[in-house]
Amino acid sequence: MLQITENMKLTQDQISAIQPIIEDNIAKVRNLQLSLEKGAMDGTTMYRQKERLIHEENQKLSLIFTPDQMKVWINIQNR
């Protein structure tokens, strides 16, 4: 997280605002992975749900980040 905050030049307020959003999304993705491992869903369903979660996360973050910061965030995600 430190590297991201430095690369994106986030303010302390931004860091405080995005942390719960990111943590929540990480937990949701972990739950998807567990469901896949347990056979509760197939890979295609997991992929679609993960993409939906990322889209929702990006919508929330776009309200906090500047447009330039959002571009950097999307580039980080695409790595």
**pLDDT confidence of residue 44:** 94
Quick check: is 54 in a domain?
yes
Per DSSP, helices labelled H in 1-79 are 2-8, 12-37, 43-62, 67-77
> How far apart are the C-alpha atoms of 50 and 53, rounded to whole Å?
5
Quick check: is 56 in a domain?
yes
**Pair of tokens at residue 64:** 């906090």
**pLDDT confidence of residue 78:** 85
Confidence of residue 68 (pLDDT cuts 50, 70, 90): very high
**pLDDT tens figures, 33-59:** 999 999 999 999 999 999 999 999 999
Name the domain count of the chain. 1
For residue 39, what are the domain limits? 27-79
Residue 3 has pLDDT above 80, yes or no: no
